[in-house]
Amino acid sequence: MASKLETWVDECARLTKPDSIYWCDGSEEEIERLNGEMIDAGIFQRLNDDVYRNCHLHRSDPRDVARTEHSTFICSDKEEEAGPTNNWKHPDEARAMLKPMYDGVMKGRTMYVVPYALGPLDSPLSRVGVQLTDSPYVVANLRIMTRMGKAALDKLNGSDDFEPGLHSTGDLNPENRYICHFTSEGVVWSVNSGYGGNALLSKKCFALRIASARAKRDGWMAEHMLILELEMPDGSLKYVAGAFPSACGKTNLAMLISPLENLGYKVRTVGDDIAWLRPGADGRLWAINPETGFFGVAPGTNEQTNPNAMRTLEENSIFTNVAVTPDGVPWWEDKTDVPPDNLTDWLGNSWDGENPAAHPNARYTTPASQCPSISPRWEDPDGVPIDVILFGGRRASLAPLVYESFDWDHGVYMASTIGSETTAAQQSGAVGVIRRDPMAMLPFCGYHMGDYFTHWLEMKDQLTQPPKIFCVNWFRKDAGGNWLWPGFGENLRVLLWAVERSEGRSGADETPIGFLPSENALNLDGLKIEKTALRELLNVNRDDWQAEAEQVGEFYTRFGGRLPERMAKQLKALNKRLG
């Protein structure tokens, strides 16, 4: 009898009608052949092998350069299950709409069957997925981002227990773009996009949206989090997880270079985007990075801000929508102070020197194993025990550099309120309005956000040694619009305070919003920062926080009866403390 996998591949092939079907094994020969075919087809451009060995440039369709949240749907049986923060379509309606789009869509193309594993193969948390796609570019990306090919198929070993995802780039028409998650069956259908989180179904679709719903059911967590390892001068290892909204600094924090290395503080990388966490037998929260690569924001990445990323992406990497020099060296804004001459921009035109040379969401896809700061424990099947969880957004005002929650419930409350201020760069809405992005999961929570809050609260019952929860904000600005905090590597100083607090060391002052570092509690050794800037960074303005609490109250009304009572209680208590 045919296995579920064979039956499903056959069914999808009858619908999409590819010329051929190819099962990926993940081998070296396979990727070399695919790269060659993509170069011949103009999908890939080989970069300069002297400086970027075995690297390729891909220019996506200019209408297909980022995730599209308005075309992303949770197709649960009932609308209520998707909640107020997700787009919803009835599964029958979604299937009826999508089937004609898939009908014959792969004619003249190859259907790649891509088995992949999320998480170390021998981890209790790991899962196998299989993506069907007509995009060799997607195959090449999945080979870097996941444990792709034979190893995953061997792990599956003929069983039915895999995550099925059907993907076609179709005609890339944004009007007909859909990323649909059938949450009750755990199936994803994605059509008319070839980009990142829309098309690499392992990433946001399975490792977050589908996994978050499973995690709620089965008592674990799938989160939009980096994981880093901090070695203390006594050699002990501390683990920090951090959730920041997209393009708000996870990759940079995960790879930071310690400015206090001479004092024995070192930072290593475990993951930069997604964490799967489960309670261990010891009552601690253990985390794995389900991925094997980084799909990182290129612009802004340079020798000063993130040298570890710069070293990682020098080999075996894919660059999407960056600019390129005549001799095949990739370039993006702020890679160097002065742009090189005669650049070709991300659209393939001679760069005009005015518009961005690289698309602002240009990305590199690069193997985690090449990262100089990768932790020896990054593939530990048990994961790493988390001591500290950070949440942060981009707040030009209000939110201090760091503050600590009073307890778990208060931490979950704080996490539910994070977000970023809209700026003049955004098209609609008044400047200074907050886009709330609870736990940085707004676009990635596969079920009702109110139930997700409940899940967070209830996880505490499984933990005798829960991580301590903090909020951070690297993005506070002065009246002139300048960053008050240097950020990047210097963020280590905040990590240190948080870790010390988790051990019951280091000083803190109680304020209405939480504990803040007391004077001299932050290690500022060797850092030049004005006293006034520091005071501003650690200031809690009661009037502003009262206004903030009012806005949170408005935000909470969206969740109606599904807002946990314990969260409403936290808001009430905050209001009381603010007087």
Residue 203 touches ligand SPV, criterion: CB under 6 A: yes
What's the DSSP call for residue 204?
Answer: I
Joined tokens for residue 48: 């300069």
Residue 295 touches ligand SPV, criterion: CB under 6 A: yes
CB closer to ligand SPV out of 197 and 279: 197
Handedness of CA 295, 306, 359, 244 (dihedral sign): positive
What's the DSSP call for residue 236?
Answer: -
Give the x/- contact pattern for ligand GTP in 459-478, rule: CB under 6 A.
---------------xx---
Name the burial class of residue 48, with classes exposed (0-12), middle (13-18) and buried (19+) by CB atoms within 10 angstroms of its CB.
middle
List the single partner that 56 binds among Mn ion, ligand GTP, ligand SPV, none, CB under 5 to 8 Å by kind: none
Among 30, 163, 273, 333, binds ligand GTP (CB under 6 A): 273
Among 134, 272, 273, 490, binds Mn ion (CB under 5 A): 273
Q: Which of 354, 334, 436, 333 is nearest to 391 (CA)?
A: 436
Give the x/- contact pattern for ligand SPV in 128-147, rule: CB under 6 A.
--------------------
Residue 196 touches ligand SPV, criterion: CB under 6 A: yes
Ordered alpha helix ranges (H), 261-325: 307-312
Choose the binding region for Mn ion from 52-60, 76-84, 273-281, 416-424 (rule: CB under 5 A): 273-281
Residue 392 touches ligand GTP, criterion: CB under 6 A: no
What element of type H or E holds 73? strand 72-74
List the single partner that 203 binds among ligand GTP, Mn ion, ligand SPV, none, CB under 5 to 8 Å by kind: ligand SPV
Joined tokens for residue 548: 């903030």
- Shortest distance, CB of residue 316 to ligand GTP, whole angstroms? 19
| Distance (Å, whole) CA 46 – CA 37 | 12
248 is known as an active-site residue = yes
- Shortest distance, CB of residue 173 to ligand GTP, whole angstroms? 25
How far is CA 311 from each of CA 137, 348, 485, rounded to the nearest angstrom?
A: 23, 26, 25
Joined tokens for residue 167: 């993907």
Please state the length of the chain.
579
Helix and strand totals (H; E) in the chain: 16, 30
List the single partner that 67 binds among ligand GTP, Mn ion, ligand SPV, none, CB under 5 to 8 Å by kind: ligand SPV
Phi, psi of 72 (to 5 degrees): -105, 125
Q: What is the CA radius of gyration of the chain?
A: 23
Residue 115 touches ligand SPV, criterion: CB under 6 A: no
| Distance (Å, whole) CA 413 – CA 487 | 25
Contact call for residues 511 and 481 (beta carbons, < 8 A): no
Helix crossing, 4-16 with 91-102: angle to 10°?
Answer: 60
Residue with nearest beta carbon to ligand SPV: 197
| Distance (Å, whole) CA 341 – CA 418 | 41
Residue 488 touches ligand GTP, criterion: CB under 6 A: yes
Joined tokens for residue 205: 């679709």
Catalytic residue among 24, 248, 371, 471: 248
CB closer to ligand SPV out of 196 and 393: 196
Residue 58 touches ligand GTP, criterion: CB under 6 A: no
Residue with nearest beta carbon to ligand GTP: 487
Q: Which of residues 248-267 bind ligand GTP (CB under 6 A)?
A: 248-252
Residue 218: half-sphere exposure toward Cβ, Cα within 13 Å? 14
Give how many residues touch ligand SPV by CB under 6 A.
8
Residues whose CB falls within 8 Å of the CB of residue 95, separated by 6 or more in sequence, listed in order: 189
Q: Which of 361, 208, 368 is nearest to 292 (CA)?
A: 368
Residue 67 touches ligand SPV, criterion: CB under 6 A: yes
Handedness of CA 226, 229, 232, 236 (dihedral sign): positive
List the single partner that 491 binds among Mn ion, ligand SPV, ligand GTP, none, CB under 5 to 8 Å by kind: ligand GTP
Among 170, 197, 259, 446, binds ligand SPV (CB under 6 A): 197
Pairing outcome for strands 20-23 and 110-118: parallel
Among 293, 296, 383, 514, binds ligand GTP (CB under 6 A): 296
Give the x/- contact pattern for Mn ion in 219-258, rule: CB under 5 A.
---------------------------x------------
| Distance (Å, whole) CA 214 – CA 203 | 15
Q: Which of residues 227-246 bind ligand GTP (CB under 6 A)?
A: 244, 246
Choose the binding region for ligand SPV from 9-17, 53-61, 195-203, 309-317 (rule: CB under 6 A): 195-203
Helix crossing, 449-459 with 211-218: angle to 10°?
Answer: 50
CB closer to Mn ion out of 229 and 273: 273
Residue 120 touches ligand SPV, criterion: CB under 6 A: no
Among 59, 155, 204, 216, binds ligand SPV (CB under 6 A): 204
Q: Which of residues 232-291 bind ligand SPV (CB under 6 A)?
A: 246, 273
List the single partner that 73 binds among ligand GTP, Mn ion, ligand SPV, none, CB under 5 to 8 Å by kind: none
CB closer to ligand SPV out of 197 and 367: 197
How far is CA 183 from each of CA 45, 115, 140, 213, 320, rounded to the nearest angstrom?
A: 38, 20, 27, 8, 30
CB closer to ligand SPV out of 181 and 493: 181
Among 487, 507, 512, 553, binds ligand GTP (CB under 6 A): 487
| Distance (Å, whole) CA 452 – CA 460 | 13
Contact call for residues 58 and 314 (beta carbons, < 8 A): no
Choose the binding region for ligand GTP from 82-90, 120-128, 293-301, 402-410 (rule: CB under 6 A): 293-301
Can you give the binding site for Mn ion, defined by CB under 5 A? 246, 273
Q: Which sequence positions are flagged as catalytic?
A: 248
Residues that bind ligand GTP (CB under 6 A): 244, 246-252, 272-273, 296-297, 300, 305, 474-475, 483, 487-488, 491
| Residues near ligand SPV, by CB under 6 A | 67, 196-197, 203-204, 246, 273, 295
